Amino acid sequence: MSELMDKICLCIERGKVDKKAPYPPDMMNQDGADEYAREAIKAGESPDNILAACNTAMERIGDKFSRNEVFVPELLMAARAMNGVMEHLKPFFQAGNIKTKGTFVLGTVAGDLHDIGKNLVSMVVEGNGWKVVDLGVDVKTDKFLKAIEEHPGCAVGLSALLTTTMANMAATVKRIKELHADTVVIVGGAPLSHKAAKEMGADGYAANPQETVRILNSLVG
Residues interacting with ligand B12, by CB under 6 A?
111-118, 120-121, 157-159, 161-164, 186-191, 206-209, 212
Minimum distance from residue 136 beta carbon to ligand B12 (Å): 11
Q: How far apart (Å, rounded) are the C-alpha atoms in residues 62 and 68?
A: 10
Q: How far apart (Å, rounded) are the C-alpha atoms in residues 52 and 72?
A: 23
Minimum distance from residue 221 beta carbon to ligand B12 (Å): 20
Judged by CB under 8 A, which stretch of 66-74, 95-103, 147-155, 172-180 contacts another protein?
66-74
Peptide bond into 24 cis (omega under 30): yes
Of residues 40 and 187, the one with the C-beta less far from ligand B12: 187
Q: Is 70 in the site for another protein (CB under 8 A)?
A: yes
Q: Is 202 exposed, middle or buried (0-12, 13-18, 19+ CB in 10 A)?
A: buried
Q: How many residues bind another protein (CB under 8 A)?
A: 26
Q: Is 209 in the site for another protein (CB under 8 A)?
A: no
Of residues 97 and 218, the one with the C-beta less far from ligand B12: 218
What does the DSSP 8-state code read for residue 162? S
**179: partner contacted, choices ligand B12, another protein, none (Cβ within 5-8 A by kind):** none
User: Coil, helix or strand for 126?
Assistant: helix
Beta carbons of 5 and 40 less than 8 angstroms apart: yes
Residues in region 171-200 near another protein by CB under 8 A:
190-191
* 32: amino acid identity, one letter: G
Of residues 38 and 60, the one with the C-beta less far from ligand B12: 60
**206: partner contacted, choices ligand B12, another protein, none (Cβ within 5-8 A by kind):** ligand B12
Instruction: Find all residues with CB under 8 Å of 158, minimum gap 6, and list them.
Output: 106, 107, 108, 109, 144, 169, 172, 173, 185, 186, 187, 188, 202
What does the binding site for another protein look like in residue numbers (CB under 8 A)?
15, 17, 21-23, 68, 70-74, 76-77, 80, 111, 113, 115-116, 119, 138, 162-165, 190-191
